[in-house]
Amino acid sequence: MALILPLISFLIGYWGVHVLKPIRPLLAALLARILIPLLIIYNMVFYKEGSLWLIGFSLVSSIIFFSIFYYFQKDKLRALCFSYLNGAWLGLPFALAVFGPKASSTIVALYIGGSLFGNVCAVMAVSEAKQDISFIIKNVLLSPPVIALTTAAVLSFWDFSAFEHHPAVQSAYQLNKVLVTFSGMCVLGMWLSKVRIGWGDLKRSLLIISSRMLLAVLLCAAAYLFLPIPHQALTFAVMLMFFCLPPAANIVALETHYQGTGYSAKYIASGTVASAMIISIYGVVLHGLVPAL
C-alpha cells in the first residue's frame, strides 16, 4: 500500500506532463523551499537521537565519494553526479514508501548532510572560474536546508515536546509527507517523460550505483562501530538506501548555467531509472529478510 501514492504521483506527472508542465517549477519550488524545510524543522525540533551524527556522516561520505571518483576520473562533473544525491525529490518519497513514516527522521538527517555538501561543492565543480569564498558562504547560508536548521535551532530554546503528538501537529506532519511524496514523484515523472536513455546509459548507471553501494557498506560499518548512532536496523537500512539514490536533479541546471552544456541530464535520467530498480529490489529483499522493518 505504501507504494501506491509514489506510483500514482509518478504516473500523473509522466502521463500528464503536457497539462502539468506549467506548474512544474511551482511544484519543485514548493518542495525545495517549503515542504522539505518544514520536515527538517519538525524532525530537528522534536530531535531524534543521532540526527546530528547522521548529518555529519552524510556530509563526510559525500566528500569521500567526490574525492575518490575525481582522483581516478579527473572529471568534476561526473564526480559531482557520483557524490551529490537526490535526497529531496527521491530520497524522501522512496524512504517513506519502502520503510514508512518511521524512516523520516533518518532520511531527513541524511538529506541535510548531502544538501550541505551540494550547496558548497556543486557550483565549485561546474564553474570554470574560481568562486569567491563570500559567494560560497552566502550560497550555503541562504539555502533552504540551512535556513530550516537555523529556524529549528532558534525554536529549540523552547520545549515543544508536549506538542509532538498533538492531533493538529501530527495531522499537519502527515499531510506534509503526503505532499512531499506527491510533489517529488510528480515532478520526477514530468521530467523523465522527456528524456530518452539507452541500454548503455542504464548499464553505466547500474555499475556506478553498485560501486557506490560497496563503498557505502564500508562507511556504514565504520559508522556502526565508531559513531554514537543508535544501533537500529531501520536506521542503517535507510542509510544504505540513501546511497542507492541517483544524482541530484539540480546538477544539470547548474551545469547549463555555468558551462552551457547538459551532459549530466543523461547521468541523472539513467541514474534515476537504475536507482528505482535497485531500491525496489533492495526493499523487497530487505523486507523478506527482516519482516519487522
| Each residue's pLDDT tens digit, 231-277 | 999 999 999 999 999 998 778 767 766 777 777 878 888 998 899 89
Number of residues assigned to the chain: 293
Residue with cell 526493499: 283
Could you tell me what percent of the chain has a pLDDT over 90?
37
- The secondary structure of 41-98 as a DSSP string is HHHHHT--TTHHHHHHHHHHHHHHHHHHHHHHH--HHHHHHHHSB-IIIIIHHHHHHH
Q: Classify 4-289 by CATH class.
A: mainly alpha
Q: Are 267 and 205 in contact (CB under 8 A)?
A: yes
- ∠ CA(78), CA(111), CA(118), 5° rounding? 40
Give the distance, in angstroms, between the CA of residue 41 and the centroid of all CA atoms in the same chain.
16
pLDDT score, position 111: 92
Sign (positive or negative) of CA dihedral 64, 227, 89, 27: negative
Which among 141, 267, 130, 143 is positioned nearest to 198, based on CA atoms? Answer: 267
pLDDT score, position 222: 96
Q: Are 179 and 250 in contact (CB under 8 A)?
A: no
Q: Residue 38: is its pLDDT beyond 80? A: yes
CB atoms within 10 A of CB 240: 15
Q: Of residues 49 and 148, which shows the higher confidence score?
A: 148
- ∠ CA(68), CA(74), CA(118), 5° rounding? 60
DSSP H or E run through 152 = helix 144-155
3-state secondary structure of 247: strand
pLDDT score, position 128: 67
Q: Residue 2: is its pLDDT beyond 60? A: no
pLDDT score, position 246: 92
pLDDT score, position 185: 81
How many angstroms separate the first and last alpha carbons of the chain?
A: 15
Residue range 50-68: mean pLDDT, rounded: 94
Domain parsing of the chain, residue ranges: 4-289
Q: Residue 106: is its pLDDT beyond 60? A: yes
Q: Residue 148: is its pLDDT beyond 50? A: yes
pLDDT score, position 218: 96
Alpha carbons within 13 A on the beta-carbon side of 155: 18
Q: Residue 1: is its pLDDT beyond 50? A: no
Window from 40-54, 102-116, 193-207, 250-264 with minimum mean pLDDT: 250-264
Residue range 92-110: mean pLDDT, rounded: 89
Q: Of residues 84 and 196, which shows the higher confidence score?
A: 84
